[in-house]
Amino acid sequence: MSRIKQPYKNPEDKRVKQLIHGGSTGTSLYEWFDDIDLVKNVSNEKNMHPCPIPEKLIERIITLTTNDYDTVLDPFMGCGTVPAVAKKMNRKYIGYEIDTTYYQQAVKRVSNAKVQLNLDGFGGI
């Protein structure tokens, strides 16, 4: 199976030039969602986890698979992206993480997440 590649956005960068010279045609992306960028070292979403997942990707998956007040399970929670996004989207969440450092960061991240109410078409309040 061939992987879809996203063209490099900064082909003048010396690291990117090396990759292109080596035959690379672009960066891997989430093949279903080409409008979502990977979390980079300079991204606001960058955290201590070696494999951070973009919040926008998690938000899209939660939107496609759940309704308000559903429970989202993340058995490999890392630094808490899934539970934090679930909380923002008015979902309940359960997360498991065996690494205590990641777990502590996840707890902090989830506690700082704010519920974002969508009042479009809402008949209450």
Domains delineated in the chain: 1-35 (no CATH), 40-118 (3.40.50.150)
Q: Kindly state the helix (H) or strand (E) to which residue 4 belongs, with its residue range.
A: none
Handedness of CA 33, 57, 116, 65 (dihedral sign): positive
pLDDT 10s digits, 62-114: 998 999 899 999 999 988 999 999 999 999 999 999 999 989 999 998 999 88
pLDDT of 121 over the 50 cut: no
Residue 123, pLDDT above cutoff 50: no
C-alpha–C-alpha distance, residues 33 and 56, integer Å:
10
